[in-house]
Structure 1
Amino acid sequence: MKVNDRYCSFYYELDEDYGEIVIDGSRTALLIVDMQYHFLTRPDTSGMSEREKAYYARWEYFYDRVDNEVIPNNARLLSAFRERKMLVAHARITGQLANGRDRSLDQKATGYNELLLLDGNPAGEIVAPLAPRENELVVRKTTDSALTGTSLRLMLHNCGIDTVVVTGVLTDQCVSGTVRSLADESFKVWLVEDACGASTREIQEHELSVLNNIYCHVVSTDELIAAL
């Protein structure tokens, strides 16, 4: 079943079975993934080499979207869920061991994914506009998936949740891993296209097409809020 014609991959071009966006507020949670300062803050390139500056210049699409779409739309969704007293959950990358031994293999990789964020590091905090409030779930993970390395699946189950609205960064990494894990655990998943972000437009659109209509349904912030 599809709910729109956007981000429709080859696999689902012939699927003519359309449905509506239906949300049962008592059984639906909002899950915001890794909206932490480390990922969302433009780096200071003043002391970098020309090669490094050229590399980070390619991230301008991402940082512009974060500032102008992703954070504002997450804030809108948070407000909508809070007003309706629906369950809100936050996932953040936070290691416990100073040497990083507790991290999964992908977070020990070299390059962009090599990451060690520990408690007390301001870079690991969730950005202020989306800061968790009292009575919201917050899970710390050392994996891409917010389910694999935490007790989130159990907590969602205990709360009677069978549907999860997912947002956050990066679409092709931790968001994708989380969406796939949720689908594998038989949760219904709605991925909000303008409340998540990847490094480039090409990666963003490709990943949405890969995930859509099998692991989740990709919808906009306006569509999701209207369905509430």
Structure 2
Amino acid sequence: MVIHLQNDGPAGAVDEPGRPGRQLCLTAPDEAVIRKTEDDGFAGTPLGALLERRRVRRIAVVGLLSEMCVSATVRTALARGLSVVLPRDAHSTYRLDEIPAHVVARVAEHALGDEVELAGASAVVDFAAPPC
């Protein structure tokens, strides 16, 4: 199951709804799109209920920004008892002042603690349906 969390920013922001380049390219008919306005993908969205309904216990989190939306969503997933995989090549961010983006992303990973499974590459992440 693939769930896309799409951030809706305020008017004039790069992530303002309706701006060119914001449309998602879905590749499977069962992919879900959840719109959000907070960093945390669970805050004010049906994400938690959708995962519970599908009996999901392990998720991979990818996307932007490593230290903001990715981090907030991972922290809530862990607090809800989910197992979280964070592929190192599937999240990123922008430079912060003089700190390069790749350094910010690595620090964000480690700030999440040892409950998160850091995968070296998204290609090695494997999921299987839970036993009935």
Indicate whether the TM-score tops 0.5. yes
1:151 aligns with 2:46: yes
Residue aligning to 1:61: none
Aligned to 1:163: 58
- The answer as to 2:19 corresponding to 1:121 is yes
Q: How does 1:214-225 map to 2 (within 5 A)?
A: 214=115, 216-219=116-119, 220-225=121-126
- Gaps of at least 5 residues in structure 2 are 95-100
Is the 1:212–1:218 Cα contact (8 Å) retained in structure 2? no
> What is the CA-CA distance between 1:204 and the residue it aligns to?
1.1
SS at match of 2:30: coil
Q: Given that residues 91 and 139 in structure 1 are in contact (C-alpha distance below 8 angstroms), is that contact kept between their aligned partners in structure 2?
A: yes
Asked whether the 8 Å contact 1:164–1:188 carries over to 2, the reply is yes
- 1:174 pairs, out of 69, 91, 111, with 69
SS at 1:190's partner residue? strand
SS across alignment from 1:121: coil
Match of 2:4 in 1: 90
Q: CA RMSD in A?
A: 2.1
* 1:139 aligned onto 2:38: no
Structure 1 or 2: more helix by fraction? 1
Identity of aligned residues (%): 24
TM-score calculated relative to the size of structure 2: 0.79
List 4+ stretches of structure 1 deviating above 3 A. Answer: none
Q: Name which structure has the greater RCO, CA cutoff 8 Å, separation 6+.
A: 1
Change (3 A) 1:132 1:180: farther
TM-score, normalised to structure 1, is: 0.48
Compared CA separation, residues 207 and 221, structure 1 to 2 (3 A):
same
What is the DSSP-based 3-state SS (H/G/I as helix, E as strand, rest coil) of the residue aligned with 1:180?
A: helix
Q: Any idea what SS the aligned residue of 1:90 has?
A: strand
Write the deviation string for residues 37-60 of structure 1: whole angstroms up to 9, x where unpaired. Answer: xxxxxxxxxxxxxxxxxxxxxxxx
Aligned pair count reads 120
Aligned to 1:201: 102
Unaligned runs of 5+ in 1: 1-86, 102-113
